Chains A and B, each alone.
Chain A
Amino acid sequence: MVSYLIRRFAFLVVTLVLASIVLFVLLRLLPGDPANALLSVGATKEQIASARADVGADLPVIEQFVRWFSQLARFDLGTSYISGLPVGPEIAQRLVVTVPLTLLAFVLAVIIAVPVGFVAAYKSHRWYGVALSAVSQLGIAVPVFWIGVLLVTFFALRLQLLPAGGFPQDDWQDPAAALRSLALPVITVAIVMAASVTRYVRSAVLDVLGSDYLRSSRALGASFAEAMWRHGLRNASVPVISILGIELATTFLGAVVVESVFALPGLGSMLLTSIAQHDYPDIQGVLFVSTFAVLIVGFLADTAQRLVDPRLRASVSGNRGGGSGGGGRRRGVGPASTAVPVAALPGTTDPGVVRS
C-alpha cells in the first residue's frame, strides 16, 4: 500500500508538471499577443514594446516558461493584466463560491443517488425499479444549464421562493443568505449528477446481486440484509468510489456552467470574464487551479479505492491498463457512459468530453 501510494503520488506530480506544460503551450499557441490586452487600439510601437517587456512577452518562450513555472512552484499565479491585482487571491475569493457549490451539490447527489440506485437495482423487475433507471437515463441527457433555467423560472420567478441569482456581497458573513443564494444552483447541479451516479450505483449493485458469494452467503443461512451488509456493500462500493472522483470533477465543471445561469461570482464567471478580456494570467490561473483540483481528486479517489478493496491493495504490481484488466475486476462494471473498464485503471480521472 505504501509503495503504491508513493508511485501514485509520483505519478500525480508528473501529471501536474505535464499539465502545466500543456497549459503553457496551449496558451502560447493561441492567436493574440498578450500585450494587446494591455493597450488600446492606437498604441505606438514603443508602447507595445514596453508593454511586452512589462509582462515578459519579449523573452524567449523557454525563459517565459521557466519564469511562470518557478512562480507556480511558489504558489504565485502572477498578476492580472487588467486589474493589476494578484491572480491567486482573486481565485481564492472566487473559490468561496465555487467550492461550497461543488461540494454541496456533490454530497446531495450522492445522498440521492445511493438509495435510488440501490432500489433501481434491487427492484429492477418491478415497475418502479424500471422507472427509476429510466429517469436516471433521462437525467444524463439533460443539459445542466437548462435544468437551471427551468428551476429559476419556477421557483424564483413564479413562486418567488428563492433568489434567482447573485451572491451576498459579504460572502458567508450571513450563512443563511449565502445558502439561500446557493440553494437553486446546488439543486440544479445535484439533479444532473445524481442521475449519473445513480446509474453507476445501480450497475454495481446489480453485479453484486448476481454474484456467487452473495448466493453462497444466503445459502449458509445469512439473511439478505446480513449478506448484503457483510459482502455486498463493500463490493458494490468499489466501482462506485472509483467513479466518484470523476463525478466530483464533473460536478465542479457543472458548477462552473451553472454559475453563469445564476450570476454567481465564482470561478466560472471569472474565467468567462478573463477570456473576454484576453487576461492571460487570469485564464492561466483558473485553468491551472481547476486542472490541479481534478488531478488531486483523481489521486484521492484512487487511494480511497485501494483502501476499500483489499484485492487492489494486494496487487501492487503496476498493471497499468490492458492486460488482464486488473485483479478482481469484473467485466462490464459501470454503466453505458464508460462502456469499458476505464474505471478499472489507476489514474482514472475522466471528465472526458464534459457533460454539463
Chain B
Amino acid sequence: MRRRSITLAIGAVLVGIILATAVVSFFWLPYPPSDIGGGRLAPPSAAHLAGTDKLGRDLLTQLMIGARIALQVGAGSVAIGGVLGIALGLATAFAQRWLDDGLSAVLDVLIAFPTLLVAMLVVAASGASLGSAILAIGLAMSAVVARLTRILAKRVLSLDYITAARVSGTRWPGLILQHVLPNIWPTVVVNLALQFGLAVLAEASLSYLGLGSPPPNASWGSILQEAQGTVLVAPIGAVAPGVLLVVLVIGVNLVADGLRDVGDPTRRGRA
C-alpha cells in the first residue's frame, strides 16, 4: 500500500509540472508565440532558455503552449469519450438481448478500426484543427469506454442485490445511480486516465504527421516534426517535446495505477 501511494504521488507531481506549465502559459509567456526576433536556431541562452527554432521563435514559449494543447487534447477527448462511452455502455447493458448483441458487434467493429488512420482522415478532411483531432480521438475512445462500461455494468446487474432492488421496485435510473455507477466508477476512472495518455500520444502522432496545427501554436508533435531536420544543429527542439510527452503520459499512467489501488481494495498488497 505504501508503495502505491508513492506511485500516486510521483504521478501527481509529473502531471502537476505539466499542468502548472500550461496554467502559467495562459498568463505569461517568455515571448509572443510568433515573435521571430531570436535569431535562427539559437542555442540556449539567458534570453532564450531553450533556444529558438529554425524561424527564430522562442522554443520555451512553444513548449509551454504545447503543454496547454496536450492537456486540452487529453481533457477534451476524455470528456467526449467518457460521456458518450459510459452512456452507450449503460444503454447496451440494459438493452434487450438482441439489441445488446447488435450494438456490441458494432462496437467491436468500431474498436477494430485503426483509430489513428480514421483520425488522420477526419482531421485531414475537415482541416487540420485541434478541435477535429479531439473529436476524432474522443469518438474512437468512446467505443472502447462503452465496451468496458457494458462489461462492468453487466457484471453488477447479474448480482443478487440488483434482483432484490428490482423486485422491490427500483427503476433503471435508480439502479444506475444507486448501484451500477458507484460500483463501476473506480475501474472506469482508471481506464479514462489511461485513455487520457493515449489520446495525448495519438494527437502527437497526428501532428507529427503534419496533420496538426502548425507552429507557433503547435502541439509537441508538430514542434518535434519541425525540429527534426535540424536535429544535429539544434537538438533541443527534437528532444524536449518528446521528454515532455513522456513526462505527461507516465504521470497520467502512474496516477491511474495509484487510483486503481485506492479504488479497489482487493488489489492492495498485490505486486
Q: Which chain B residues (176-200) contact chain A, with CB distance < 8 Å?
A: 187, 190-191, 194-195, 197-199
A143 within 8 A of B: yes
Segment touching A, from B27-35, B165-173, B245-253? B245-253
A19 cross-chain contacts in B, Cβ below 8 A: 109, 112-113
**Option from A145, A286, A339, A352 in Cβ contact (under 8 Å) with B117:** A286
A18 touches B109 (CB 8 A): yes
A152 cross-chain contacts in B, Cβ below 8 A: 231
A18 cross-chain contacts in B, Cβ below 8 A: 105-106, 109
A295 within 8 A of B: yes
B202 within 8 A of A: yes
A342 cross-chain contacts in B, Cβ below 8 A: 147-148, 151
Segment touching A, from B36-44, B59-67, B205-213? B205-213
For the complex, give the distance between the alpha carbons of A95 and B196 in Å. 32
A141 cross-chain contacts in B, Cβ below 8 A: 197, 201, 245-246, 249-250, 253
A276 touches B124 (CB 8 A): yes
For the complex, give the distance between the alpha carbons of A256 and B118 in Å. 13
Chain A residues in the interface with B (C-beta under 8 A): 11, 14-15, 18-19, 22, 26-27, 30-32, 124, 137-138, 140-146, 149-150, 152-153, 157-158, 206, 249, 252-253, 256-257, 260-261, 271-272, 275-276, 278, 283, 286-287, 290-291, 294-295, 298, 320-323, 325, 332, 336-337, 339-342, 345, 347, 349-356
Chain B residues in the interface with A (C-beta under 8 A): 77, 81, 93, 101, 104-106, 108-118, 120-122, 124-126, 137, 140-141, 144, 147-148, 150-155, 157-158, 187, 190-191, 194-195, 197-199, 201-202, 204-205, 208-211, 221, 224, 228, 231-232, 235, 238-239, 241-242, 245-246, 249-250, 253, 256-257, 260, 267, 270-271
**Option from A143, A340, A349, A353 in Cβ contact (under 8 Å) with B148:** A340
A206-B271, A340-B148 as given contacts; A325 in contact with B155, CB under 8 Å: yes
Q: Chain A's interface: helix, strand, loop or mixed, by majority? A: helix
11 A-B pairs whose Cβ atoms sit less than 8 Å apart in the complex: A30-B121, A143-B201, A153-B235, A271-B120, A287-B117, A290-B117, A323-B158, A342-B147, A352-B111, A354-B114, A356-B116
A142 cross-chain contacts in B, Cβ below 8 A: 242, 245-246, 249
B114 cross-chain contacts in A, Cβ below 8 A: 249, 252-253, 256, 287, 290-291, 294, 351, 354
A14-B105, A153-B232, A353-B202 as given contacts; A124 in contact with B190, CB under 8 Å: no
A31-B125, A275-B124 as given contacts; A143 in contact with B105, CB under 8 Å: no
A336-B194, A336-B256 as given contacts; A322 in contact with B155, CB under 8 Å: yes
B116 touches A253 (CB 8 A): yes
B112 cross-chain contacts in A, Cβ below 8 A: 15, 19, 249, 291, 294-295, 298, 349, 351
A323 cross-chain contacts in B, Cβ below 8 A: 154-155, 158
B106 cross-chain contacts in A, Cβ below 8 A: 18
B242 touches A271 (CB 8 A): no
A11-B105, A340-B151, A354-B114 as given contacts; A153 in contact with B191, CB under 8 Å: no
A15-B109, A345-B151 as given contacts; A257 in contact with B205, CB under 8 Å: yes
A350 cross-chain contacts in B, Cβ below 8 A: 111, 144
A261 cross-chain contacts in B, Cβ below 8 A: 228
Name the CB-closest residue of B to A284: B121
B208 touches A257 (CB 8 A): yes
For the complex, give the distance between the alpha carbons of A323 and B152 in Å. 9
